[in-house]
Amino acid sequence: MDKKKISKIGVLTSGGDSPGMNAAIRAVVRTGNYYGLEVFGIVRGYSGMLDNDIRRLHNRDVANIIQRGGTFLKTARCKEFYEPEGRAIAYENLKRHGIDGLVIIGGDGSFKGAQKFSAEYDIPCIGLPGTIDKDIAGSDVTIGFDTAVNTAVEAIDKIRDTMDAHDRLFIVEVMGRDAGYIALHSGIATGAENILIPETETDIEALITSLTEKERRKKLVNLVVVAEGDKFGGAEEIAKIIRQRIPTADTRVCILGHIQRGGSPTCSDRLIASHMGYYAVESLLVGRNNVMVGVVNNKMHYTPLGKAVKEKQKIGQEWMKIVKILAS
């Protein structure tokens, strides 16, 4: 580890927001100030680095935000930062403030940028996994996933009330980009009859057979939870086929969308964000660089940013067997 003395650090949130990002910023700011560092907030992710939208943050600036969704530093997806010219401007702006360490709270796109930046310049970068998708390797948890999945569960429970009253078949689409974690967790927790995720090939014939069989034995209330990234298609696609093949089923679609990204973070998300925020600053102080702080088996764990992005988390196939057994 390269032990360069750090005195000024920057913190930013980048990519899609996730509940708990504010709690993570707060932890970084207060831990940094505790250790006598100057902490700077970078507004709108990497865009703020390019526009020099950087401001000093004191402990009072992060008061009363731990319970808020979104991110008070705002966030963006910044294309210019993927170009060497963009990163050069960002570096000059950071140097202008004397910033010599960075904490990036975001998902895989944000880490790809950080990885390039830390390879080119002498500013160490520490990543914190802030994403509702849980699509990052090297951590059992990501900041925001627990809140998002609980939001999905609450919404699906409500859908169940009305679908049960009308004996309907519902296809609910949840977020997750290319990952099926939100679908798997929210589907199991709401007793979904079928869960379709990108990690497992969707067998449309098997789905039709299972729903037809349920229709035959007058099990008319059926819930299908589909991940937006499922390779077969989203909820509308699936519903179209079901309507053609099982016209007797009273089929409806609900796409939950961005409500999954908002809202007050759960206790679990606030805790992991606080914990990771603290360890991000500790990491910079002991000379770590180009790693993501994660939690594996309840212990802090450090993964090179490149590995975190490339490997993704694996979904155990046993879960799909459990879904089938429990839905019978």
6-14, 31-39, 117-125, 127-135 -> range binding ligand F6P (CB under 6 A):
127-135
Give how far Cα 189 sits from Cα of 130, 193, 242, Å.
Answer: 23, 11, 24
Q: Which of 43, 132, 211, 273 forms a contact with ligand F6P (CB under 6 A)?
A: 132
Q: Which is nearer to ligand F6P, 100 or 228 (CB)?
A: 228
Please give the residues from 165 up to 184 whose contact with ligand F6P meets the rule CB under 6 A: 175-177
> Shortest Cβ distance from residue 13 to ligand F6P (Å)?
12
Please report the beta strands in 43-118, taking only residues with DSSP state E, as ranges in sequence order.
Answer: 54-56, 101-106
Chain positions 202 to 261 lying near ligand F6P, rule: CB under 6 A, are 228, 261
Q: Is residue 116 close enough to count as binding ligand F6P by CB under 6 A? A: no
Contact predicate 87/119, CB 8 Å: no
Task: State the catalytic residue, choosing from 100, 108, 133, 146.
Answer: 133
Angstrom CA distances, 137 to 61, 105, 224, 301, 310, stand at 32, 15, 27, 11, 8
Buried b / exposed e over 57-79, threshold 16 CB at 10 Å, is: beeeebeebbebbbbbbbbbbbe
Rounded to a whole number of angstroms, the minimum distance from the CB of residue 178 to ligand F6P is 8
* Stretch of 34-42, 125-133, 183-191, 275-283 contacting ligand F6P, by CB under 6 A: 125-133
SS3 174: strand
**Quick one: 107 or 180, whose CB is closer to ligand F6P?**
107
- Looking at 86, 106, 107, 180, which residue binds ligand F6P (CB under 6 A)? 107
Of the candidates 314, 297, 289, the residue with the CA atom closest to the CA atom of residue 115? 289
**Is residue 127 classed as helix, strand or coil in its secondary structure?**
strand
Sign of CA dihedral 33, 37, 43, 44: negative
Q: Respond yes or no: is residue 51 known to be catalytic.
A: no
Q: Which residue of 10, 12, 16, 30 would you call a contact of ligand F6P, by CB under 6 A? A: 16
The residues annotated with a catalytic role in the active site are 133
The residues of the shown chain that bind ligand F6P, judged by CB under 6 A, are: 16, 107, 131-133, 175-177, 228, 261
